[in-house]
Amino acid sequence: MTLLFNSCPKCKGTLQQHSDGYGNYLQCISCSLIVDVPERKGRITAKVLHMQKVA
Ligand SMILES: [Zn+2]
């Protein structure tokens, strides 16, 4: 299980990585925001950081 602390683009909460039949995604454990992510871990961090800058 992967946790990304302080990475939610909405509330800066903790994102938890999930997998289902459609692929990987992240869900915030604080506000339940769902973020779609590419499969590789390095790309997950890069995309979340990019979204924080945009928000
Ligand atoms: Zn959140």
Task: Extract the tokens encoding 8.
Answer: 């939610």
Q: What is the pLDDT of residue 21?
A: 77
CA of 49 to the centre of ligand 1 (A): 14
CA of 35 to the centre of ligand 1 (A): 10
Task: Extract the tokens encoding 3.
Answer: 């946790």
Q: Which residue has the higher pLDDT, 37 or 54?
A: 37
d(C-alpha 23, C-alpha 44), whole Å: 13
d(C-alpha 54, C-alpha 18), whole Å: 24
Model confidence pLDDT, tens digit, residues 2-52? 899 999 999 999 999 888 777 788 999 999 999 877 555 555 555 555 555
CA of 21 to the centre of ligand 1 (A): 23
CA of 22 to the centre of ligand 1 (A): 22
Number of domains in the chain: 1
- Domain span at residue 50 reads 3-54
Contact 55, 42 (CB under 8 A): no
d(C-alpha 46, C-alpha 31), whole Å: 21
Q: What is the pLDDT of residue 18?
A: 86
